[in-house]
Amino acid sequence: MHYLDEGSGNEPPILFLHGNPTWSFFYRRLILSLRENSRCIAPDHIGCGLSEKPGFPEFEYDLRSHSENLLSLLEKLKVDRVRLVVHDWGGAIGLTAFRNLAERVDKIVLLNTAAFPSRDVALRILLCRLPLLGSFLVRGLNGFAGPATHMAVAKPLSRETKTGYLLPYDNWTNRVAVWRFVRDIPFEKSHPTLPLLKETAQGLEKFRETPAIACWGMKDFCFHPGFLKEWEKRWPNLEATRIDHAGHYVLEDALEPCIDKIAPFLAY
| pLDDT tens sequence across 223-267 | 999 999 999 999 999 999 999 999 999 999 999 999 999 999 999
Element (H, E) at 82: strand 82-88
**CATH number for the domain formed by residue range(s) 3-267:** 3.40.50.1820
In order of 4, 42, 58, 121, 163, the CA distances from 51 in angstroms are 11, 12, 15, 28, 17
**Claim: this prediction has a pTM higher than 0.75:** yes
Burial class (CB in 10 A: 0-12, 13-18, 19+), 158: exposed
Neighbours of 202 (CB within 10 A): 11
Positions of E strands within 130-245: 212-217, 239-243
pLDDT of residue 268 exceeding 80, the answer is no
| Residue 119 contacts residue 172 (beta carbons within 8 Å) | no
User: In whole angstroms, what is the distance from residue 4 CA to residue 2 CA?
Assistant: 7
3-state helix, strand, coil in the chain (%, to 5): 45, 15, 40
| pLDDT tens sequence across 143-193 | 999 999 999 999 999 999 999 999 999 999 999 999 999 999 999 999 999
